Structure 1
Amino acid sequence: MNLSIISGRLTKDAKLLFTSSGKSCCVSSIAVREDRKPDEKESTFVDFVIWGPRAEKLSPMLTKGKSISITGRLEINRSKKDDKTYINPRIVVETLEFLSRKKGSAVIEKSE
């Protein structure tokens, strides 16, 4: 089973793109904070993509700093440039939730 669940904050505004055949996709990245020790805080940055009509609907709402949770499958893209191979993992989003804080409790807006 290939299932990833990631939550964190958007590192940049989402970008809406179109393939040569006209299919829409929305791309961005999320920073996942990892507290390993009380005085050590690191972030892991994870790219993601949303395909189809949902990409067009969600891209204006996916702005830098928003807290979200995504569920999807891990996809590995390989590319070559100047005789070097680059490996670019990303999540193909199936479910996205907007997370926000209101008076100490989490409010979840779900979009599938």
Structure 2
Amino acid sequence: MSTLAGILVVLHILCWAVAFGCWFAAMRSHEPNKGMAHGASGAVVFGLILMILGIAQGADGHMFYGLKLLFAIIAMACSWIAVSRGRETNALVWYLIPVSIVANIVIGVFHIGA
């Protein structure tokens, strides 16, 4: 089970890297890439699977999972909004994407709320 969890964590981190990398590549032009939304969506899916596995194994830290899920959904929703609006995306939505991605990573690395 730990091997499966390790593989899912790697995929989760890679999805966040894709989402952040696509945002960073589009930062100057403000022309969002669909890879950003797909990466964020993949990270949410892998994160939910990891959360289910963790809770099924009796792990505490519901606040940890809740915070990560909150920021992941914010990043995913803002990414899809940015892709649908294109260059007309307002600044709040545009900059919430990297802020929520970084917040999610910081929570995961430092186990905030666990």
Report the TM-score, using the length of structure 1 for normalisation: 0.25
**Which of structures 1 and 2 has the larger relative contact order (alpha carbons within 8 angstroms, sep 6+)?**
2
Bigger fraction of residues in strand:
1
Bigger fraction of residues in helix:
2
Structure number with bigger Rg: 1
Report the TM-score, using the length of structure 2 for normalisation: 0.25
